[in-house]
Amino acid sequence: MDFGLSEEQVLLVDGARRYVEQTSDYEARRKAVDSGEAYGAARWQQFAELGWLALALPERHGGLGGSAVDYALLVEALGAGLMLEPLVPVAAAAMALVTAGGAGDLPSAVAEGSARPVLAHGEPGSGGLLTFVESRAERSAAGWRLTGAKSLVLGGAAATHYLVSARTSGDKADDAGISLFLVPADHAALGRRDVRLTDDSVGAHLAFTGLDLPDAALLGPESGGLPALREGMAWLQLGLHAEALGAMDKALWTTRDYVRTRRQFGTELSTFQAVQHGLADMAMETELSRSMLLRLLSVFDGDSAERDRTLAAAKAQFGRSGFFVGAQAVQLHGGIGMADEYLIGMIFKRLLLLRNLHGGPDMALGQLTQD
Per-residue binding string, other proteins, 141-170, x by CB under 8 A, is ----------xx------------------
Closest contact distance (angstroms) between CB of 275 and other proteins is: 7
Residues 149, 106: Cα–Cα separation, whole Å? 24
Do 66 and 8 meet the contact criterion of CB atoms below 8 Å apart?
Answer: no
Q: What is the DSSP letter of 215?
A: G
Q: Is 10 in the site for other proteins (CB under 8 A)?
A: no
- Helices 360-368, 305-333: crossing angle, 10 deg rounding: 150
Closest contact distance (angstroms) between CB of 274 and its own copies is: 5
Torsion of CA 153, 158, 161, 166, to 10 degrees: 10
How many alpha carbons lie under 13 Å from residue 190 in its C-beta half-sphere? 22
Q: Would strands 202-214 and 218-219 be described as parallel, antiparallel, or unpaired?
A: unpaired
Non-local (6+) Cβ contacts of 302 within 8 A are: none
Q: Is 277 in the site for other proteins (CB under 8 A)?
A: yes
Q: Which of residues 48-107 bind other proteins (CB under 8 A)?
A: 69, 73
Q: Closest Cα to residue 342, out of 88, 82, 85?
A: 82
Q: Which of 199, 243 has the CB closer to other proteins?
A: 199
Phi, psi of 147, deg, nearest 5: -135, 135
Residue 41 contact partner, candidates other proteins, its own copies, none, CB within 5 to 8 A by sort of partner = none
Q: Is 26 in the site for its own copies (CB under 8 A)?
A: no
Taking CA atoms, 3 is separated from 244, 290, 298, 335, in Å, by 20, 12, 10, 39
Kindly tell me which residue out of 48, 64, 176, 365 binds other proteins, with binding defined by CB under 8 A. Answer: 365
Kindly tell me which residue out of 137, 316, 343, 351 binds other proteins, with binding defined by CB under 8 A. Answer: 316
Q: Closest Cα to residue 168, out of 128, 101, 221?
A: 221
- H-helix or E-strand containing 160? none
Q: Which of 273, 369 has the CB closer to its own copies?
A: 273
Q: Is 263 in the site for its own copies (CB under 8 A)?
A: no
Q: Which of residues 317-346 bind other proteins (CB under 8 A)?
A: 317, 323, 327, 330-331, 334-335, 337-341, 345
Kindly tell me which residue out of 129, 147, 222, 224 binds other proteins, with binding defined by CB under 8 A. Answer: 129
Kindly tell me which residue out of 272, 320, 360, 362 binds its own copies, with binding defined by CB under 8 A. Answer: 272
Q: Is 274 in the site for its own copies (CB under 8 A)?
A: yes
Q: Is 369 in the site for other proteins (CB under 8 A)?
A: yes
Q: How many residues bind its own copies (CB under 8 A)?
A: 4
Where along the sequence are the contacts to its own copies (CB under 8 A)? Answer: 272-274, 277
